[in-house]
Amino acid sequence: MRIDLHTHSNISDGTESPAVLIRSARRAGLDAVALTDHDSTAGWAEAAEAASAEGIRFIPGMEVSCQSDTGISVHVLSYLHDPTHAGLLAEIEKSRAARLSRARRMVERLSEDFPISWDLVEDHVADGATVGRPHIADALVALKIVADRSEAFERILTVRSKYWVGHYAPHPAVAVELIRSAGGVPVFAHPSAFARGRVIGSAVLNEMIDAGLLGLEIDHRDNPEDARAALRRTAAQHDLLITGSSDYHGAGKPNLLGENVTAPETLDRIIEHAGGHRVR
């Protein structure tokens, strides 16, 4: 059984609709797939319907954008939580509003040097999607300022750029607590993705574990091999689940569906832990 527990549709920063993503997963030979759009569950219904038609198991999920006290970006995957949970919803909406304001301010700064506008960025945002830097990157690609999203992030939208604007996001331990309160299963996404920027140390990780963290996404292309060994030791020490995923974004990234997978017994344990939403 081939299981991929980290994918994105155009509800956040992927390029395929939830239904198309499910069909892509089936063609890639997957038996089960989780949709984990950033700070949104808006694609669940469409993905579930498509999964039923395709005969593939669908795992409802979400990737919660977080930030440590020192400003380090952290992502926490949530599986099978209650999408109507008031506390988690309030925090997600607060983050989404901050990201929208931040995106507008970044576009304002960019417009001083490039012929970019907010209307052009909105052309690349699906209905109900969480606006973010990938959509700004897509606008820059459309303007032929960069060749692809990767160049946009590396050259123009980096944290070191003069166009950068920060935004609010919850502390990862708070996110973990809210996910557990909503009956979900929190898993730390790509915890050693050094190529993306700074990563948190053991102190914040321990806070997340104390708050109820249940797993680490270890088999991910952005975790170096030597770091994966250290993460496996941490998982064993704290009895954390180990997942593997693609972090698929369609044409938005080179990641391929099923390039890393999760063991069936791990999915069984995730389902056992969950109390917010049932897997189909």
Domain that holds residue 203: 3-93+179-273
Q: Does a structural domain hold residue 160?
A: no
Exposure string over 31-67, b if 16+ CB within 10 A, otherwise e: bbbbbbbbbbbbbbebbbebbeebebbbbbbbbbbbb
The string of pLDDT tens digits covering residues 112-125 is: 999 999 999 999 98
Q: Does a structural domain hold residue 184?
A: yes
Tokens coding 14: 């992927």
DSSP state of 259: S
Tokens coding 25: 């997963």
Q: Per-residue DSSP letters for 199-222?
A: ---HHHHHHHHHHT--EEEEE-TT
- Is the model's pLDDT at 252 over the cut of 90? no
**DSSP-based three-state secondary structure for 4:** strand
Q: Provide the pLDDT confidence category of residue 129 given band limits of 50, 70 and 90.
A: confident
Q: Does a structural domain hold residue 158?
A: no
In whole angstroms, how far apart are CA 222 and each of 99, 129, 200, 202?
A: 24, 25, 15, 19
Distance (Å, rounded) from C-alpha 255 to C-alpha 258? 9
- Is the model's pLDDT at 248 over the cut of 70? yes
Q: Does a structural domain hold residue 124?
A: no
Q: Does a structural domain hold residue 261?
A: yes
Q: Does a structural domain hold residue 116?
A: no
- Tell me how crowded residue 120 is: count the other CB atoms within 10 A of its CB: 18
In whole angstroms, how far apart are CA 13 and each of 24, 209, 246, 251?
A: 16, 28, 14, 10
Alpha helices in the chain (DSSP H): 18-27, 44-54, 86-110, 118-122, 133-142, 149-155, 172-181, 202-211, 225-238, 264-273
The string of pLDDT tens digits covering residues 135-155 is: 999 999 999 999 999 899 999
The string of pLDDT tens digits covering residues 61-86 is: 999 999 999 999 999 999 999 999 99
Q: Does a structural domain hold residue 78?
A: yes
Q: Per-residue DSSP letters for 83-137?
A: TT-HHHHHHHHHHHHHHHHHHHHHHHHHTTTSS--HHHHHTT--TT----HHHHH
Q: What is the mean pLDDT of the chain?
A: 94
Q: How many domains does the chain have?
A: 1
What is the CATH classification number for the domain harbouring 47?
Answer: 3.20.20.140
Q: Provide the pLDDT confidence category of residue 166 given band limits of 50, 70 and 90.
A: confident
At residue 244, the pLDDT reads: 98
Span 198-210, average pLDDT: 96
Q: Does a structural domain hold residue 230?
A: yes
Q: Which amino acid is present at 86?
A: A
